[in-house]
């Protein structure tokens, strides 16, 4: 993308193609909050290259450094034309479950935010019309795991670079559900681990 195309897409503050690439990733994943390490694994950018890009975007006021990583400035949210969640890379459904206590989803999200588990590293959160999406990426950057909380349901999907990377995503998804189930067990005093009715989806080849 040329400098002129960058300005047309993201405004006059973006001339550098590296900065535009970072913004395209943020737009594709609909990220509202994200970490440096998570973004680095998704883009597979060199740490110094990504650091300089984020510094330029921060200096231009397009992103803001926060305790949890980075957040988008309000004007950036308005400038980015967020597309639907299934835009870009192909999403593969891994599993579907009903949440025992839908009203507790916010507390569960708070407990999961910023956490790493097994081979999955925290990326950040995305905004959707009927809820929110929490995102993790495998430590080698080959699979992205999306956990969408909406109403009384949780859907976990994966985006993988190659079919051979799918088992990593499935493993991470099941580790995530196990952790969520344990967290739900502690949302009510004296409660046992809540039963979550799972609907497994057989992964198909890309």
Residue-wise pLDDT for 108-132, tens only, equals: 888 888 888 888 899 999 878 788 8
Judging by DSSP bridges, how do beta strands 63-66 and 131-138 pair with one another?
unpaired
Residue 145 confidence (pLDDT): 93
Residue 57 has pLDDT above 80, yes or no: yes
Q: Each residue of 64-81: pLDDT tens digit?
A: 998 889 988 888 877 776
Between 34 and 201, residue with greater pLDDT: 34
Do the Cβ atoms of 185 and 89 come closer than 8 Å?
no
Q: Once rounded to an integer, what is the mean pLDDT over residues 88-96?
A: 78
> CATH says 92-200 is which class?
alpha beta
SS3 content of the chain, % helix, strand, coil (to 5): 40, 25, 35
Residue 205 confidence (pLDDT): 47
Q: Please give the sequence-ordered ranges of beta strands (E in DSSP) within 99-142, or none if there are none.
A: 120-128, 131-138
Write out the residue limits of the CATH 1.10.10.10 domain(s) in the chain. Answer: 3-79
Residue 186 confidence (pLDDT): 62
Residue 80 confidence (pLDDT): 74
Residue 199 confidence (pLDDT): 47
> CATH says 3-79 is which class?
mainly alpha
Q: What percent of the chain is predicted at pLDDT more than 70? A: 76
- How far is the CA of 54 from the CAs of 141, 153, 155, in angstroms? 19, 34, 31
153 burial via Cβ count (<10 Å: 0-12, 13-18, 19+)? middle
Three-state SS for 78? helix
Do the Cβ atoms of 29 and 42 come closer than 8 Å?
yes
């Amino acid at each position: 993308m040329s400098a002129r195309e960058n300005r047309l897409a993201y405004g006059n503050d973006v001339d550098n193609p590296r900065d535009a690439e970072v913004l395209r990733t943020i737009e594709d994943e609909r990220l509202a909050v994200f970490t440096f390490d998570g973004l680095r694994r998704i883009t597979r950018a060199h740490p110094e290259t990504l650091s300089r890009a984020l510094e330029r975007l921060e200096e231009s006021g397009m992103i803001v450094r926060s305790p949890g990583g980075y957040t988008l400035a309000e004007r950036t949210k308005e400038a980015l034309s967020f597309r639907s969640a299934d835009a870009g890379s192909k999403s593969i459904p891994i599993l579907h479950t009903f949440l025992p206590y839908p009203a507790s989803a916010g507390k569960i999200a708070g407990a999961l935010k910023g956490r790493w588990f097994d081979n999955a590293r925290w990326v950040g959160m995305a905004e959707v019309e009927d809820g929110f999406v929490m995102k993790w990426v495998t430590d080698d950057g080959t699979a992205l795991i999306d956990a969408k909380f909406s109403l009384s349901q949780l859907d976990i999907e994966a985006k993988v670079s190659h079919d051979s990377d799918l088992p990593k995503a499935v493993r991470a998804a099941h580790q995530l559900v196990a952790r969520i189930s344990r967290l739900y067990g502690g949302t009510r005093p004296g409660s046992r681990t809540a039963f979550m009715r799972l609907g497994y989806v057989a992964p198909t080849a890309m």
